[in-house]
Structure 1
């Protein structure tokens, strides 16, 4: 498996992967929503605020993840939120998702990013060193339908202490439907 950060030439394929994976797991409407989210994030988000990691096997796209900046007014820490995440249906269960997420976290750590957040299945993300966090200590951009899925991890070994100020996510993610 090879990882890449070059998404400009693969953006349509990446968005199609998200749409296909979420359509199978969550239905066509959710697939269209997440495919559009990925398209918008790659097209509209400033380069400094977006990290796209893809996984390839024999020249075929098999996985993709997006990290986007989350800014807390009044807090100097650098924070990125992971989402969405997709692995081609026929390749699921082979460690591709965990591999690409670990790779992405390592790259963010090397860049000096302080904290990674995600909103998802606590059991899955615990395997990747994410732990539940309180919305009181680290607020989400919108009220969460499943607060138990708000997860974070320090990338610089500093403790996750309360954040200061309200959070702001990138434009494409700035919609309560995703939270």
Structure 2
């Protein structure tokens, strides 16, 4: 199965500043270094489940050379390309996620990164993996809606799990949960 895995060519923090968003939750979510899943669950008051829509070890396609270096991924080397969604128990789509990078060498961490039942960050935490997120980008993206696409927030970061090669994580959020409206100084407003 071919995976649509367009990867942002981010190598350093770029895009919109988290404090440029009008909604306080959006600002907190984008500025936080902790679990995205925990923050979204607290916002919604319900547990979220992961749905893996595609996952394979393959050539990730064109990646910026500096990003390849940050991911410790030599040109031509296959890596994990994983697309997943966070959904409520009733099926509401809350976020779409892309993970690209080398599989961790530790089997327990590799299982956490590729697991299909527990969100990746929570699965890694259960395995006592230290986690550190290095922000790369915040930007606006399209979100499909019942009446056409809407603007959504997208963020990307490097996720470092212990001493393993970092993973590139890109998350897009339902604008009804994470509003994408910018402040008066922003370039776009709902």
Q: Indicate the TM-score class for this superposition, using the shorter chain for normalisation.
A: under 0.3
Q: Rg bigger for which structure?
A: 2
TM-score by length of 2: 0.25
TM norm structure 1: 0.26
> Which is richer in helix?
1
Normalized per residue, the structure richer in strand is: 2
